[in-house]
């Protein structure tokens, strides 16, 4: 599914099937959602305050809409970019793994199957 013999990050089913995938075009597809959703949240940021009703607290409502749109975008882009280069999982020693398996009721089996 991921990776290949040449070490290039690729998805299953991407490209022409002959193994010739352009890394630059794949990189562009990673950034397309960032551009699209930045435009959507930008539109909410700009157009949202237009729909605020006339009231004595209209400025508070406009500020809330704008801060809300920016906060949602910031959270989303942080999560999306974090998924582009995920952290490694925990690295445990074999003795720790054996103890965890025993503690959880699934003892590790030796070479003889017991």
- pTM, rounded to two decimals: 0.54
pLDDT of residue 9: 44
The 8-class DSSP code of residue 107 comes to: P
What pLDDT is stored for residue 58 in this prediction?
A: 92
What SS3 state is found at 91? coil
Domain residue ranges of the chain, discontinuous segments joined by +: 30-86
**Mean pLDDT per segment of 10 residues, for the chain of length 114 residues?**
45 48 67 89 93 90 94 93 78 83 78 60
């Amino acid at each position: 599914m991921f990776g290949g013999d040449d070490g290039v990050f690729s998805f299953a089913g991407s490209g022409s099937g002959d193994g010739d995938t352009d890394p630059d075009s794949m990189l562009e597809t990673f950034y397309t959602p960032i551009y699209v959703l930045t435009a959507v949240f930008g539109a909410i940021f700009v157009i949202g305050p237009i729909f605020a009703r006339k009231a004595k607290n209209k400025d508070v409502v406009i500020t809330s809409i704008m801060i809300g749109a920016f906060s949602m975008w910031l959270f989303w882009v942080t999560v999306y970019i974090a998924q582009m280069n995920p952290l490694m999982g925990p690295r445990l020693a074999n003795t720790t793994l054996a103890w965890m398996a025993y503690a959880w009721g699934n003892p590790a089996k030796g070479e003889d199957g017991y």
